Amino acid sequence: MRNDVTVRKSIQNGLKKQQEPKREIIVNGYVYPSVDLNLIREISPDLTAINLFSYGITEDGDLLPLNDDELVSVLKENQVAPIMVLTSLTEQGTFRTDLLQIILDDENLQEKLINRILEEIRNKGLNGVDFDFEYVESAYKDKYAAFIEKTRNRLNAEGYMVTAAVAPKISADQKGLLYEGHDYAAIGKAANLILAMTYEWGYTFGPPMAVAPINKVREVLNYAVTEIPPSKLLMGIPNYGYDWTLPYVKGESKARILSNVDAQELARQKGAEIKFDPVAQSPYFNYTDEQGREHEVWFEDARSIQAKLNLVKEYDLAGVAYWNLTWPFPANWDVLENTYTVTKVV
C-alpha cells in the first residue's frame, strides 16, 4: 500500500509540474539571407526575432544594404521580427575594424549613419538594429557605447529597438582586443537588449573542446548579471559543432565546422560512441577516418541544450540567441518547447 501511495503522489506531482505555466522568453538567432526559407517557416513558431547578417557601413557614414527582401517577407508572414545586424563588413565582403573608429570620431557621420539605418528600417519594415562590432579598441569603448545609446534614443522614439552583441567577458578589466572595447555596464545601459556571445571556446583554430562548455558560460553570466540587468540579457547558444583532426598542432590545425545533426550522423556512420562531458555538459566522440587519422568531435545535443536553457531560468535572463540558424536542429526546438513559451512581438 505504501508503495502505491508513493507512486500516486509521484504521478500527481509530475502532472502538477507539467501543468504549471511555462516562463515566457525571447528567442532569436542570426541567419544569412541564403538560409533555407522553408527551414525558417518551420521554426518560426519558436522565434521572437531573426537577426539579418549583415549590413555593412562605409567611411562616409553610408549603409551597405543586404539582399534580404525575400527573407524579411517570410519572417513577417510568420510573425517573426526582422532585425538589421550592423557590422564592419565592406563591399568586398571582408571585415574592416577601422570603419567603426572613423564613424565614432565624427558626429556628422554618426548622424548620417543613424538616418540611413532609420531609412532602411522604415523601407523594409524591420523592427530594429543589432550592433555586432567585434575587436573594438579600448580607446573607443566610451564612444562606442555612446553611439549605441544615441541610436537607441532615435530608434526607440519611432518604436524600433536596439540590441548589441558583446564578447564573453568574465571581468571588467579583462585583457584582449576582443574584450576591452565592450564595456558591459555602458553597453548594457545603452541598448534595449544585450546578447552575450557565450560560445566559441572550442573554435576553428583552437584545441578540441566544447564550443560552449557550461562551466565557461556560467563564468560569463556570473559577471554579466553584475553589470547588466538580467531582464535585458540574452544568452548565446551555438547551433553547430567542430571536427578536429588529431593531433592538434597550434598554428597549423583547423577544425571543420558541421551541424549538430551531421555530427550525430557522422558518429553513427563511424560506429563511434557518443560520450558526455559532465563538466562542459556537452557531447563528444572520437573516430578514425579512411586515412587512419584520429578525429575528435564536439557538438550540441538535447542534453547540452537543456543544460543551457536551464541557465535562463536560473539567472532570470530575458532569453537566448542562436548563432546561427542556418542548419536544422530539431532536438533544440523540442527541448525549447518543453521548457519555455516564446515571446512574440509581431
Kindly state whether residue 156 falls inside one of the protein's structural domains: yes
pLDDT (tens digit per residue) in 212-271: 999 999 999 999 999 999 999 999 999 999 999 999 999 999 999 999 999 999 999 999
Q: Is 294 an annotated catalytic residue?
A: no
Res. 346 pLDDT band, cuts 50 70 90: confident
Active-site annotation holder among 77, 120, 134, 273: 134
pLDDT of residue 14: 56
Grid cell in block for residue 189: 545601459
Nearest by Cα to 84 from 134, 152, 131: 131
302 alpha carbon, distance to own chain's centre: 17
Grid cell in block for residue 250: 597550434
Cα gap 200→276, rounded to integer Å: 18
- Please say whether the beta carbons of 330 and 43 come within 8 A: no
Kindly state whether residue 66 falls inside one of the protein's structural domains: yes
Kindly state whether residue 277 falls inside one of the protein's structural domains: no
Domain span including residue 338: 22-239+300-342
Q: Which helix (H) or strand (E) holds 89?
A: none
Kindly state whether residue 181 falls inside one of the protein's structural domains: yes
pLDDT (tens digit per residue) in 272-287: 999 999 999 999 999 9
Kindly state whether residue 35 falls inside one of the protein's structural domains: yes
Q: Return mean pLDDT, the chain.
A: 94
User: Based on the structure, what is the number of domains in the chain?
Assistant: 1
**For position 58, which CATH number holds?**
3.20.20.80
Kindly state whether residue 319 falls inside one of the protein's structural domains: yes
Kindly state whether residue 263 falls inside one of the protein's structural domains: no
Kindly state whether residue 209 falls inside one of the protein's structural domains: yes
Residue 267 phi, psi (nearest 5)? -60, -40
Res. 17 pLDDT band, cuts 50 70 90: low
User: Which residues on neighbouring strands pair with residue 284, listed in sequence order?
Assistant: 275, 298
pLDDT of residue 315: 98
pLDDT of residue 89: 86
How many Cα atoms occupy the beta-carbon half-sphere of 151 within 13 Å?
A: 32
